Amino acid sequence: MRSTTLLALLALVLLYLVSGALVFQALEQPSEQHAQRELGEVREKFLSNHPCVSDWDLRVFIKEVADALGGGANPDTNSTSHSNYSAWDLGSAFFFSGTIITTIGYGNVALRTDAGRLFCIFYALVGIPLFGILLAGVGDRLGSSLRRGIGHIEAIFLKWHVAPELVRILSAVLFLLIGCLLFVLTPAIVFYCVEDWSKLEAIYFVVVTLTTVGFGDYVAGASLNQKSAAYQPLVWFWILLGLAYFASVLTTIGNWLRVVSRRTRAEMGGFTAQAASWTGTMTARVTQRSGPTAPPPPEKERPLLPPPPCSAQPAGRPPSPAPPEKAEPPSPPTASALDYPSENLAFIDESSDTQSERGCALPRAPRGRRRPPNPSKKPERPRRPGRPRDKDVPV
């Protein structure tokens, strides 16, 4: 992502946060001030009716009550009464563990011991990645099942000769509607009937839970009227499926945005190519009208390469066939030796002259080895007595 795009996105998020803060402040601050005034009036009324209780003692009592409620205590019970309600029974503890690894963290029940807080640190570090892997797998299976079911509906629409673009839009809408019906509306109706909440409160709890916000003001199974031990574990399995559905929706949206981005880049690339072609055509026309152009710069001279290796084949003769592997190659035909003093130092034939004119030299014999006698060469003339040899003649 480019730095300019990142800065623009950051500015957009900050603007969104500021606008949300202003709206929440305008909506919630009057209610908070009204609740604070009511609490002050109740405190003053209690102190006037009980003059033996000081204001400091009342404040300490209220603080202790708030801490006890935060620890999961039941205000309707006392030390003499017996109740089966507990915030840390097996079902509630299972639900609390589920809120840790799902990162919801309602906050209605909190840890009070140092050992519990230390264990929670390591439990979250291991459980959150493990739940993420499970969520990805469940979301993949759930999304593929929903898309497979919607695929049959698409086939029916295509048989009715509906436009493919319209079919894609209808399939996306059906995917969202079926998911919202299964994981939002149906649980909201269940919570409305079981928890004795209003319809808005039930939908609010569902959305806050599946978005992992988890304020904790509304928690399923936290009321004293709910006595079933399997209720909160079932709620956690609903949270698992709902989060998997939302994950598949986000994955689908991400894939759609990626496809749109690729198409946009392809269209922009085609437009750029067309613009470049049009610019080149217009430039050529203008150049033709203005007159001849300057000659192109001369090319650099290429260095001469050495002649390729060639075989010692006499000029005017067809190439001889390749000799067999084990047969010895025949010696090249030679002409009569040249009659000059150094005739015994080298022999030159017609083929060597021809190859020398073409730029190809015959391979020389390695030094230290004598050439084999040539049967076609004339025998050496007898040397007169007293005549020095050719090699002894001074140059």
Rounded Cα–Cα distance for residues 112 and 274 (Å): 69
Using the predicted structure, report yes or no on whether residue 217 has a pLDDT greater than 60: yes
Residue 26: pLDDT band with limits 50, 70, 90: very high
* Count of beta carbons in the 10 Å neighbourhood of residue 221: 20
Q: Does the pTM of the predicted model rise above 0.85?
A: no
More confident residue, 126 or 90: 126
More confident residue, 69 or 207: 207
Tally of residues, the chain: 395
Question: Cβ neighbours of residue 227 under 8 Å, at least 6 residues apart?
Answer: 84, 85
Rounded Cα–Cα distance for residues 246 and 254 (Å): 12
Q: Helix or strand or coil: residue 249? A: helix
Q: What is the mean pLDDT of residues 79-91?
A: 67
More confident residue, 142 or 288: 142
Q: Which one, of 368, 330, 365, 362, lies nearest residue 349 by Cα?
A: 362
DSSP3 helix / strand / coil % (the chain, rounded to 5): 60, 0, 40
CA angle 183–187–191, rounded 5-degree value: 160
Rounded Cα–Cα distance for residues 85 and 228 (Å): 11
The maximal CA–CA distance of the chain, rounded, in angstroms, is 163
Question: Cβ neighbours of residue 350 under 8 Å, at least 6 residues apart?
Answer: 314, 315, 335
For position 348, what pLDDT does the model report?
38
Rounded Cα–Cα distance for residues 334 and 314 (Å): 10
